[in-house]
Amino acid sequence: MKSEEKMDIVEKTAREWMIKRGVKIEDIAELVYFLQEKYHPELTMDECIENVDRVLMKREVQNAILTGIQFDVLAEENKLVEPLQTIIGTDESLYGVDEILAFSIVNIYGSIGFTNYGYIDKLKPGILQYLNDKSSGKCHTFLDDIVGAIAAAASSRLAHRAKDVE
């Protein structure tokens, strides 16, 4: 993982906010492993963590994290104006802006990211199940999609790099 002293304020804040919201790099790496293990039998968690870390170094990913988490927090605190408060607060199924923000992350490593994202978004394994649990009292309308997108992008990065090795 990149050392904190080499991170600028945007990257450091994005990583800190994810941790405060209950998401660790290892949680996302587990999703990467879930997506890639059958294609890469020798895959290790360290490789998954490395790929997640590299995705988190991208400025547009950091911006998406900060934006999404800010909207989730504002919704939790009932600080959004209606009808947006209810739409985001309840994660209304026809509200697709959270997915659009996630697509900005998925796009980074090509079209394979879309299939990875769609698959993991439908199944909601691991940390995604926690983030989608409405009984927690937390709003993760944006964060669940962002985390899934980071995992999908890291999986795509891993797949592209593995293809280069072949």
pLDDT tens digits, 27-44: 999 999 999 999 998 999
Q: What DSSP string runs through 77-92?
A: TT-SPTTHHHHHHTT-
The 3-state DSSP composition of the chain as helix, strand, coil percent (nearest 5) reads: 70, 0, 30
Residue with the larger pLDDT of the pair 111 and 14: 14
Tokens of 145: 């999609």
Checking if the pLDDT of 110 tops 90, the result is: no
CA distance 27 to 59: 21
| Residue bearing tokens 């659009």 | 100
Length of the chain: 166
Q: What is the pLDDT of residue 159?
A: 86
Q: What is the rounded CA–CA span in Å between residue 76 and residue 165?
A: 45
158 vs 164, residue with greater confidence: 158
Taking 70 as the threshold, does the pLDDT of residue 151 lie above it? yes
Asked whether the predicted pLDDT for residue 165 surpasses 60, the reply is: no
Which architecture does CATH list for 7-165?
Orthogonal Bundle (1.10)
Q: Give phi and psi for 76, each to the nearest 5.
A: -60, -40
Residue 71: Cβ within 10 Å count: 20
Q: What are phi and psi of 134, to 5 degrees?
A: -70, -15
- For residue 164, pLDDT beyond 60: no
pLDDT over 70 (residue 99): yes
* 161 pLDDT above the threshold of 80: no
